[in-house]
Amino acid sequence: MKAFTSKLGFAIIVAMVLAALFAPYLAPYDPSEYHLDLSFAGPTFAHWFGNDADGRDVLSRIIFGARVSLGIGIAVVGISLVAGSAVGLIAGYAGGIVDRIFLFVSDVFLAFPSFLFAIAVAAFLEPSIANVVLILSLKGWVTYARLTRGEALSMRERDFVAAARASGAGAPRIVLKHLFPNMIGPVLVNASFGMAGVIMIESALSFLGLGVPVDTPSWGAMIDQGTQYLLIAPYLSIFPGIAIMLVVLGFNFLGDGLRDKLAPRGR
């Protein structure tokens, strides 16, 4: 069953990534093109997911919305993974005062719930994709740092690290050539689950009007715009909600599969 769900998750992610990459060719209409004569037109063969209050094609906006959500997710996870892994490896390998300072700083960040932290920071910034990436990266690095720090602590006294020291290898070489390659599995598993979390928070921020600009196709913003028309056009919120559900399920299923493949201790 797990093998099937991991393959299903991989298929969903591949489909979403392809949709994002080839959005201009896959979207049947311009996502920003207004057709007021088609306002609240329900799903038809011409417009599979219907039209919104301004007559814009919902399917086209969902396809372009994949670019926003996946782009933000990849940027945030990439920045958080690189920055967090670097900090965690240094703290775990160095130990002592460096490790104690890291623990204090990370505990301060972890004291704030991720979503509330994102809302608090977003309230002071203008809605933009760059600001959303900055906001989510400000706290996202902590998870990767704690993970790599714990792995580094458990590995730094092992025989292969002692052998590397005895051969004259310096700390940077030991960290990059011996420690990090041995913890890449748990890091990738965490990145897969992290993508799902980032997409959820980005959608929630856009739903509240604190994420991407209003005119940018975003699944969270589309749900927000559709809530005031739930009685007459429920599809405006249902379809982008399904898109969020699918991509989050995809990354969670993929993360489960990666955990079984790359982190055997978790089996």
- Residues 40-80 pLDDT 10s: 888 888 888 988 888 899 999 999 999 999 999 999 999 99
> Buried (b) or exposed (e) across 182-202, using 16+ Cβ within 10 A?
ebebbbbbbbbbbbbbbbbbb
Position 19: which residue type? A
Residue 197 in tokens = 């979390």
CB 83 within 8 A of CB 43: no
Residue 104 in tokens = 């204090």
Q: What is the pLDDT of residues 171-222, one digit of tens each?
A: 677 777 777 777 888 888 899 999 999 999 999 999 988 888 878 888 998 9
Q: Rounded to whole angstroms, how far apart are CA atoms 256 and 98?
A: 33
Beta bridge partners of 266: none
For position 59, what pLDDT does the model report? 92
Q: What is the mean pLDDT of the chain?
A: 86
Q: Which of 65, 54, 66 is nearest to 18 (CA)?
A: 66
For position 155, what pLDDT does the model report? 78
DSSP helix/strand/coil, 38: helix
For position 184, what pLDDT does the model report? 83
Q: Rounded to whole angstroms, how far apart are CA atoms 99 and 8?
A: 40
For position 21, what pLDDT does the model report? 92
What are the phi and psi torsion angles at 54 (to 5°)? Answer: -100, 10
What are the phi and psi torsion angles at 214 (to 5°)? Answer: -60, -40
For position 2, what pLDDT does the model report? 63
Residue 20 in tokens = 């994002």
Q: 210 or 95: which carries more pLDDT confidence?
A: 210
For position 266, what pLDDT does the model report? 41
Domains of the chain: 2-18+55-266 (1.10.3720.10)
Q: 227 or 163: which carries more pLDDT confidence?
A: 227
Q: Which of 134, 137, 120, 132 is nearest to 213 (CA)?
A: 132
> Buried (b) or exposed (e) across 147-172, using 16+ Cβ within 10 A?
bbbebbeebbeeeebeebeeeeeeee
Q: Rounded to whole angstroms, how far apart are CA atoms 118 and 168?
A: 45
- Furthest CA-CA distance within the chain: 77
% of the chain at pLDDT higher than 90: 30
